[in-house]
């Protein structure tokens, strides 16, 4: 659905050239939810603007939904953009128009007749869960509702690709989750290809199938989300993963509080979480298992997370239990008591 070959973008500024995107090769399949993660200034916005033709590459070729975005211009580019839609961090709604009229706007531009427009807008309002809010103005909506309007408007002309530019960065965690759920729902229902740029790993974990990590304009690592979580290669990827894991003080607290037996940190990735591990531990070993804390979440390709447990019993039996956990391909780290 999307192919970038050897794409670079250099901005020529008064203070010199800025290499925002550097020799990027990327292939995104139809129906994927693909994440591009990077820190501020890494080149994410430049990359996403290249995908919808708002910027032209300095070199390389860009094909999106069958269109050579790097070369087409004018009416052809506008036509192609109907198939490549976008949502934004700050929603970019028209403040003097109601929800209904905001969603209707791209249909008006595309010359869709009034009767058909009304029908389509009603469908979209239902799809994004905004029934009852049709006549509200953006200023009367919560952040999550505003983004729902943004999503409905982006879907109005039945695009093939939806680009999401930090679409949940201005929202609180709960609202973020509901918007991400909506994106997954739309992806499944409509088979829409979604590309999202973000600086938050939990967004990638929750909804992406694959992810690329961008640093100083270069894609330094890419792959299946769980694979990347299991086996990050680059320092920057590890930093992003730390952002999404237990804070250091929690581990310190656990160490201090639970001095009996051993405290273990279990890491679950993918299918291993399906196993009834705790039941098996109690059944097979003469140990008491105390669940201390944990967070296991679902990714698009299986579960991911950590669980802290305390094992109390004979030292030799605890060691056997640890070996058993390892045999089951669950990551285990002993949190030593100080
Ligand atoms: N129009 C422009 N003219 C000149 N330089 C630019 C332009 N747009 C971006 N840059 C520079 O290109 C580099 C990449 O910026 P870009 O906005 O793509 O990164 P980003 O990862 O999206 O960061 P942020 O999340 O802060 O927007 C930065 O050094 C930025 O200053």
Q: Half-sphere exposure of 70 toward its Cβ, with a 13 Å CA cutoff?
A: 16
Q: Half-sphere exposure of 197 toward its Cβ, with a 13 Å CA cutoff?
A: 23
Domains and CATH numbers, the chain: 2-243 (3.40.50.300), 248-335 (3.30.70.260)
**Nearest ligand 1 atom, CA 46:** 18
5-23 tens-digit pLDDT: 999 999 999 999 999 999 9
pLDDT for the residue 294: 85
CA quadruple 133, 134, 137, 139: dihedral sign? positive
18 lines ligand 1 (CB under 6 A): yes
**Nearest ligand 1 atom, CA 12:** 4
174 lines ligand 1 (CB under 6 A): no
Strands 67-68 and 218-224: unpaired
Q: Is residue 96 predicted with pLDDT exceeding 60? A: yes
215 lines ligand 1 (CB under 6 A): no
ipTM of the complex: 0.96
22 lines ligand 1 (CB under 6 A): no
Average confidence (pLDDT) over 200-228: 94
239-260 tens-digit pLDDT: 988 777 766 667 778 778 888 8
What is the token pair recorded at 187? 């992806």
Nearest Cα to Cα of residue 284 among 292, 273, 293, 275: 275
What is the token pair recorded at 162? 């939806």
State whether residue 222 is helix, strand or coil: strand
What is the token pair recorded at 193? 């290809």
**Total-model pTM:** 0.85
pLDDT for the residue 274: 64
């Amino acid at each position: 659905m999307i192919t970038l070959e050897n794409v670079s973008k250099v901005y020529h500024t008064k203070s010199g050239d800025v290499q925002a995107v550097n020799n990027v090769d990327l292939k995104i399949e139809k129906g994927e939810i693909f994440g591009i993660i990077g820190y501020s200034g890494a080149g994410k916005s430049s990359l996403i603007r290249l995908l919808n033709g708002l910027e032209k590459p300095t070199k390389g070729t860009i094909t999106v939904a069958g269109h050579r975005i790097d070369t087409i211009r004018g009416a052809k580019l506008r036509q192609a953009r109907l198939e490549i839609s976008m949502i934004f961090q700050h929603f970019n709604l028209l403040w003097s128009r109601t929800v209904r009229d905001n969603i209707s706007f791209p249909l008006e531009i595309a010359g869709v007749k009034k009767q058909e427009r009304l029908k389509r807008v009603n469908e979209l309002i239902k799809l994004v869960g905004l029934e009852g809010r049709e006549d509200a103005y953006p200023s009367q909506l919560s952040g999550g509702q505003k983004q729902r309007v943004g999503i409905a408007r982006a879907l109005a002309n039945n695009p093939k690709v939806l680009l999401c530019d930090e679409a949940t960065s201005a929202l609180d965690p709960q609202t973020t989750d509901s918007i991400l759920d909506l994106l997954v729902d739309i992806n499944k229902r409509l088979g829409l290809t979604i590309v999202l740029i973000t600086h938050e790993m939990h967004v990638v974990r929750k909804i992406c199938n694959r992810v690329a990590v961008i640093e100083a304009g270069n894609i330094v690592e890419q792959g299946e989300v769980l694979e990347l979580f299991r086996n990050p290669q680059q320092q920057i990827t590890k930093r992003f993963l730390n952002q999404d894991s237990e804070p250091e003080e929690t581990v310190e607290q656990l160490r201090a509080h639970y001095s009996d037996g051993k405290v273990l940190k279990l890491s679950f990735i993918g299918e291993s979480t399906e196993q009834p591990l705790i039941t098996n531990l109690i059944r097979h070993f003469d140990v008491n298992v105390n669940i201390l804390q944990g967070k296991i979440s679902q990714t698009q390709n299986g579960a991911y997370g950590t669980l802290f447990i305390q094992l109390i019993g004979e030292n030799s039996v605890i060691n056997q239990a640890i070996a058993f956990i390892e045999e089951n391909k669950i990551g285990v780290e002993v949190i030593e008591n100080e």
